[in-house]
């Protein structure tokens, strides 16, 4: 069997794309290296160096920062920041964007949640990195809101790395969704899931049902519907919730079904962030044939007004996301 590495795959695509300069491929290669660093640390967590636990710092979201969060944020920032390919980095872990000096800057904006689900680190549950790449929109050297606050539909590429039973890198640049698995003995990612398509419907729903008391009535009705018995529509659905978005999303992408983090009475915009979590995964799910909405609007059509803006998220197979429209759409 021919084994295709991620780098070979990117180069082949570059050769097919008219006018490609190779900058995008180089950028992806930097992400790949950062992913290997983080993967190694995650796999060795608990051994040797004291990398588990909290830093004692609280981030812009008011959440305690884990040492591995900080490590991942720094590695991605260093490698991408020094690449000469980007002009700014926004991160779930930074209050403000990191602006690259113009003489070292390139034409892309890099957006990341460097280590999502990090509260699961200490208990050996899969966690992940989520990233997006946008093109700089404004003319000249200055980085403006037109560059930093783009609609999800303007993404050039997005992807995630899941540090799980194996480390996987899944991305799309608008031409299919492709998954690569890290061979740890070689330190190389190989194509393992070519042109991923999400099933049109699934048998699982994924939500933190502990929050039920704070949900609005339509949300409760939707979940009640999923629990009803009806053979024809394959109900009841099964409930699967890891509490680690990348892992819950990865399962949903491969097996079908729906992941939901709704708004509620306490937090009308839910918990997840538009730029760091919702938009990149929405870009992937749509290119795999699925859907993503905030309950009213397609995620990719939302114009964010703040870098750390939150959004309700319903993402997955067409049939299940259409149910959200049926129950929640005003």
Binding residues for Mg ion, rule: CB under 5 A, are: 113, 116
In the set 132, 204, 244, 311, which binds ligand AHM (CB under 6 A)? 244
41 counts as binding ligand AHM under rule CB under 6 A? no
At 256, list the tokens.
């079908």
Distance CA 304, CA 294 (A): 13
Kindly state whether residue 70 participates in binding ligand AHM, applying the rule CB under 6 A: no
Q: How many residues bind ligand AHM (CB under 6 A)?
A: 12
* 75 neighbors 37 (Cβ within 8 angstroms): yes
Work out what residue 320 binds among Mg ion, ligand AHM, none; the CB cut-off runs from 5 to 8 Å by kind.
none
Mark out the alpha helices in 166-317 (DSSP H runs): 217-227, 245-255, 279-287
Distance CA 240, CA 205 (A): 6
Output the six-digit token pair for 167: 């480390």
Residue nearest to Mg ion (CB): 116
Q: Which is nearer to ligand AHM, 250 or 287 (CB)?
A: 250
Q: Which of 251, 268, 261, 246 is nearest to 293 (CA)?
A: 261
312 counts as binding ligand AHM under rule CB under 6 A: no
Nearer to Mg ion, 45 or 127 (CB): 127
Contacting ligand AHM (CB under 6 A), which of 30, 70, 93, 116? 116
* Short-list 268, 265, 319, CA closest to 296: 268
Q: Is 129 in the site for ligand AHM (CB under 6 A)?
A: no
Between helix 318-328 and helix 217-227 the angle, nearest 10°, is 140
Cβ of residue 9: shortest distance to ligand AHM, in angstroms?
A: 27
Residue 264 site contact among ligand AHM, Mg ion, none (CB < 5 to 8 Å, cut-off depends on kind): none
CB 68 to ligand AHM: min, Å? 11
- Is residue 258 within 8 A of residue 205, CB to CB? The reply is yes
User: Per CB under 6 A, does 245 bind ligand AHM?
Assistant: yes
Applying CB under 6 A, which part among 144-152, 156-164, 243-251, 278-286 lies near ligand AHM? 243-251
CB of 76 to ligand AHM, least distance (A): 14
Neighbour tally for 103: CB within 10 Å: 7
């Amino acid at each position: 069997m021919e084994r295709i590495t991620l780098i070979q795959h990117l180069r082949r695509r570059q050769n097919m794309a008219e006018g490609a300069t190779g900058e995008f491929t180089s950028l992806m290669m930097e992400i790949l290296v950062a992913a290997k660093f983080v993967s190694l640390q995650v796999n060795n967590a608990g051994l040797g160096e004291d990398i588990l636990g909290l830093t004692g710092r609280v981030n812009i979201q008011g959440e305690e920062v884990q040492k591995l969060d900080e490590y991942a944020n720094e590695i991605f920032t260093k490698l991408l920041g020094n690449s000469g390919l980007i002009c700014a980095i926004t991160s779930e872990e930074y209050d403000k964007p990191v602006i690259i000096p113009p003489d070292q800057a390139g034409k892309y904006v890099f957006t990341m949640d460097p280590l999502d689900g990090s509260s699961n680190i200490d208990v050996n549950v899969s966690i992940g990195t989520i990233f997006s790449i946008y093109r700089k929109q404004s003319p000249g050297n200055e980085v403006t809101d037109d560059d930093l606050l783009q609609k999800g539909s303007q993404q050039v590429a997005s992807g995630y790395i899941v540090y799980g039973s194996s480390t996987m890198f899944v991305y799309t640049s608008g031409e299919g969704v492709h998954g690569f698995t890290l061979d740890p003995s070689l330190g190389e990612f190989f194509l393992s899931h070519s042109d991923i398509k999400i099933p049109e419907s699934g048998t699982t729903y994924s939500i933190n049902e502990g929050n039920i008391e704070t949900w609005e009535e339509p949300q409760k009705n939707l979940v009640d519907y999923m629990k009803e018995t009806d053979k024809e529509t394959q109900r009841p659905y099964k409930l699967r919730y890891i509490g680690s978005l990348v892992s819950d999303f990865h399962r949903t992408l491969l097996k079908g079904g729906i992941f939901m983090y709704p708004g509620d009475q306490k937090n009308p915009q839910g918990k997840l962030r538009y730029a760091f979590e919702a938009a990149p995964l929405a870009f992937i799910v749509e290119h795999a044939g699925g859907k993503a909405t905030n309950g009213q609007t397609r995620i990719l059509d939302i114009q964010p007004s703040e870098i750390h803006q939150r959004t309700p998220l319903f993402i997955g197979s067409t049939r299940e996301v259409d149910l959200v429209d049926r129950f929640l759409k005003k």
